[in-house]
Structure 1
Amino acid sequence: MTTPRLVFNPVSQDYFDNPYEIYRRMRDEAPLYYDEEEDFYALTRHADVAAAFKDHEAFSSARGCDLGMVRSGEVPQKSIIFMDPPDHRHMRSLLNKAFTPRAIQSQRETVVELVRHYLAEADPDHFDVVQDFSGPFPVEVITRMAGVPEDFRQQVRHWIDTSLHRKPGQIDMDDENMQATIDSGMYYYGLVQERRKNPQDDMISRLIAAEIPGEDGSLRKLDDIEITGFTTLLGGAGAETVTKLVGSAVVEFARHPEQWQKLLEDRSKIPDAVEELLRYVGPVQYNVRYSLKDVELPSGTVPAHKPVFLMGAAANRDPRAFDDGETFDIDRDRTQAQNLGLGYGIHSCLGAALARMETAIALEHLLDFMPRFEVDFDGLARVSMQNVAGYHHVPVTVLR
């Protein structure tokens, strides 16, 4: 029996259904994968992906972070993920102030309150982990920090889901994606203007008051478009990551009940479980960069002026970097290689510590809510999204 030809299509149904089998073949057969038809490269081995993430001088973010954007050459809206240094450095240092360890810890009570609220409302006999729990609570946390009024917090999540959704075969944004992006941007733009008139104790108001170095070195204020770009990004990243990670966590623990039992017996293992989930089923599958010059990597040369997929989710299961990389084990040795689940290098996730805290608190409360549970595997529904993997339905029965 002949092996089917290796094809990586980031918007195919096969890829949406099971990216990990495709990643395994790419790592083994074509670690420096080139797609002639679409004219892009893809990196899947840990050594290559980590090196590319660190080399921002060769792999630029300024053209966007998905294939459609990078290939079009149209510079997207002003946002930190679409910047190279020095602009990126100035913005990062400003936004880091919103995610200091103290700022993250100040959100703990909010997270606990929201997690308890949504679990208290859940029906143990008909519990959809994503729809009833991991979908609603993370977006409440991040949008409350930003300054979004309560009435609009869940709407933000629906805009994000719609803007990232991709039909099989669809690389570029369609009208629905574009409309959700426009609606979200217009909403945040209006909110920024409102906060200029009436500042409050929130992230938008602090960004309005902040100053960064301009092109001539003198300090300048951020404009409304820049602040809109940041708040839109933070709302999306802050909601999507934890939503998908917690949903995938429940599926993996159902597949590996002995790992769930370890947590039931020793809750001090929860932080390790979060790290393993980020490695094994991290929501962010890849970031696309643009090569500014020919780049030598361990697996070969990436030529200049090409879109390049940095496949962090593939690298995170690379057996060359992690012993038994395809095995889910919350007790694994974490010192073997860098976990790329929340990025690496200058564009690593701004809210990584917040995402880890939210996921840990969610797991802790799920251990109480459903110490024994069954997932309806036939009812699982995967998302089909640009660069994000996970589920939008994870139906569970809590066992008495």
Structure 2
Amino acid sequence: MTQAELVFDPFSQEYFENPFDIYRRMRDEAPIYYDANEDFYALSRHEDVSAALKDHDSFSSSRGCDLAMVKGDEPPQKSIIFMDPPEHRHMRSLLNKAFTPRAVQSQKEVIIELIDKYLAAVNPDAFDMVQDFSGPFPVEVITQMAGVPEEYRQQVRHWIDTSLSREPGQIAYSEAGMQANIDTAMYYYGLVQERRENPRDDMISRLIAAEIPNDDGTLRRLDDIEICGFATLLGGAGAETVTKLMGTAAVNFARFPDQWTKLLDDRDKIPAAVEELLRYEGPVQYNVRYTLKEATLPSGTIPAGKPVFLLIASANRDSAAFTDADTFDIDRDRTEAQNLGLGYGIHSCLGAALARMESAIALEKMLDFMPRYEVQWDGLRRVQMQNVAGFSHVPVQVLR
């Protein structure tokens, strides 16, 4: 039987439902894939993706991180993920101060309190892991750090979800997505004005007070657009990463119950479990870059001036990098290859330590709350989003 033509369409229903079969064929048949219709390239092998993530001289972030942005005529909003050095370096050094080990550790009690609150409110006989638990709590953590008042924290999550959602075949924002972006920007702009008038002990107030160097060495303050851009990014990353990771965790531990048993028997394996979740089916599927010049990679070359998908989720399933790459194994050797689940190179996730801590605490609490559980498989619903993968609905029943 003749195999169907290899088509990578990151906006298709097939891709939304299961990208991993497509990724496997790309790694084998077209590691440097080219789409003539949309004029983009895609990298699927670990050695190529990791090399591109580190080569910011060739693979620029300044045009955006998704296809519509990179191909668009308008530059994206000011945000650290849309910057190249030296501008990126100055902003990163400033923002790193918000995620020092001490700053992250100071959130531990808040995280525990929020997780306990949401788990205490669910009905063990029938609840939705995402809607009732992993959706609400992470955005509370990050927006509280930023300085968003409690009554607006969940709204931030809904704006982000609407902004990222895509119907099959839809590359650019929907009308609702555009409106969600406008609403988010307007909300944060108003909050920045409030904090300029009345500073508090929160991240937005610290960004208002901060100074970064210009190219000539003089110092300047961040403007409102830069602060709003970072607050939007922070809310989005905080709302999506752990939310999707914990929903996927419930699904994969139900599919592979022997791995859940390992955790029940030895809680010390929780950090390793978080790493394997990020590798096996992490929330970030890809980032799109733009080639500033011809780029040479282990598998070949890409011409200048092209959008390039860096398929992080494919790279993390590459059998050339990981033994039994398609096997979910929390005991695997972590030294084999770089886990790209939270990025790599200068744009690696700013809040990676916070995301890991949230996920580890959530797993610990899940082990206590639902040592034996079932997923109601017919109620599973995947998200249809650009860049991000996971579940919107994971109905669960705790077994007595």
TM-score per shorter chain, which class? over 0.9
Structure 1: stretches of 5+ with no match in the other structure: none
Query: What is the root-mean-square deviation of aligned Cα atoms in Å?
Result: 0.5
How far apart, in 2, do the equivalents of 1:205 and 1:92 lie? 17
Superimposed CA distance per residue, residues 335-375 of structure 1 (whole angstroms, 9 cap, x where no aligned partner): 00000000000000000000000000000000011000000
Per-residue deviation, 1:217: 1.8
How far apart, in 2, do the equivalents of 1:73 and 1:179 lie? 19
Tell me the amino acid that sits aligned with residue 89 of structure 1. Answer: R
Superimposed CA distance per residue, residues 310-354 of structure 1 (whole angstroms, 9 cap, x where no aligned partner): 001000000000000011000000000000000000000000000
The answer on whether the counterparts of 1:45 and 1:318 sit within 8 Å (CA) in structure 2 is yes
Per-residue deviation, 1:215: 3.3
How far apart, in 2, do the equivalents of 1:96 and 1:296 lie? 31
| TM-score computed with the length of structure 2 as normaliser | 0.99
How far apart, in 2, do the equivalents of 1:74 and 1:340 lie? 29
Match of 1:329 in 2: 329
How far apart, in 2, do the equivalents of 1:397 and 1:126 lie? 5
Match of 2:113 in 1: 113
Tell me the amino acid that sits aligned with residue 335 of structure 1. Answer: T
Match of 2:40 in 1: 40
Structure 2: stretches of 5+ with no match in the other structure: none
The answer on whether the counterparts of 1:11 and 1:166 sit within 8 Å (CA) in structure 2 is yes
Per-residue deviation, 1:185: 0.6
1:217-228 correspondence runs (5 A): 217-228=217-228
How far apart, in 2, do the equivalents of 1:109 and 1:394 lie? 27
Match of 2:172 in 1: 172
How far apart, in 2, do the equivalents of 1:345 and 1:84 lie? 12
How far apart, in 2, do the equivalents of 1:37 and 1:224 lie? 38
Match of 2:136 in 1: 136
Superimposed CA distance per residue, residues 179-216 of structure 1 (whole angstroms, 9 cap, x where no aligned partner): 00000010000000000000000000000000001233
In the alignment, structure 1 residue 24 sits paired with structure 2 residue 24: yes
How far apart, in 1, do the equivalents of 2:263 and 2:239 lie? 25
| TM-score computed with the length of structure 1 as normaliser | 0.99
How far apart, in 2, do the equivalents of 1:34 and 1:376 lie? 39
- Count of paired positions: 400
The answer on whether the counterparts of 1:273 and 1:330 sit within 8 Å (CA) in structure 2 is yes
Match of 1:392 in 2: 392
How far apart, in 2, do the equivalents of 1:168 and 1:390 lie? 16
Superimposed CA distance per residue, residues 220-274 of structure 1 (whole angstroms, 9 cap, x where no aligned partner): 0001110000001000001100000000001000000000000000000000000
| Other structure's SS at 1:3 match | coil
Tell me the amino acid that sits aligned with residue 74 of structure 1. Answer: E
How far apart, in 2, do the equivalents of 1:15 and 1:175 lie? 23
| Other structure's SS at 2:397 match | strand
The answer on whether the counterparts of 1:63 and 1:73 sit within 8 Å (CA) in structure 2 is no
| Other structure's SS at 1:104 match | helix
In the alignment, structure 1 residue 7 sits paired with structure 2 residue 3: no
| Other structure's SS at 2:113 match | helix
Match of 1:146 in 2: 146
Match of 1:307 in 2: 307
Tell me the amino acid that sits aligned with residue 155 of structure 2. Answer: Q
Tell me the amino acid that sits aligned with residue 140 of structure 2. Answer: E
How far apart, in 1, do the equivalents of 2:392 and 2:125 lie? 18
Tell me the amino acid that sits aligned with residue 139 of structure 1. Answer: V
- TM superposition outliers: structure 1 runs of 4+ over 2 Å: none
In the alignment, structure 1 residue 81 sits paired with structure 2 residue 89: no
Match of 1:98 in 2: 98
Tell me the amino acid that sits aligned with residue 316 of structure 1. Answer: N
Tell me the amino acid that sits aligned with residue 42 of structure 1. Answer: A
Match of 1:264 in 2: 264
In the alignment, structure 1 residue 319 sits paired with structure 2 residue 311: no
Match of 2:236 in 1: 236
How far apart, in 2, do the equivalents of 1:137 and 1:294 lie? 44
| Other structure's SS at 1:290 match | strand
How far apart, in 2, do the equivalents of 1:179 and 1:89 lie? 31
Match of 1:383 in 2: 383
Match of 1:65 in 2: 65
How far apart, in 2, do the equivalents of 1:222 and 1:295 lie? 33
Per-residue deviation, 1:73: 3.6
Per-residue deviation, 1:295: 1.1
Per-residue deviation, 1:74: 1.9
Per-residue deviation, 1:52: 0.2
Tell me the amino acid that sits aligned with residue 387 of structure 1. Answer: N
Tell me the amino acid that sits aligned with residue 190 of structure 2. Answer: G
How far apart, in 2, do the equivalents of 1:223 and 1:366 lie? 42
Per-residue deviation, 1:126: 1.0
Tell me the amino acid that sits aligned with residue 122 of structure 2. Answer: A
Match of 2:249 in 1: 249
Per-residue deviation, 1:11: 0.5
Match of 2:185 in 1: 185
Tell me the amino acid that sits aligned with residue 44 of structure 2. Answer: T
How far apart, in 2, do the equivalents of 1:107 and 1:397 lie? 30
Percent of pairs with identical residues: 76
Tell me the amino acid that sits aligned with residue 159 of structure 1. Answer: W
How far apart, in 1, do the equivalents of 2:176 and 2:216 lie? 40
Match of 1:282 in 2: 282
How far apart, in 1, do the equivalents of 2:54 and 2:295 lie? 12
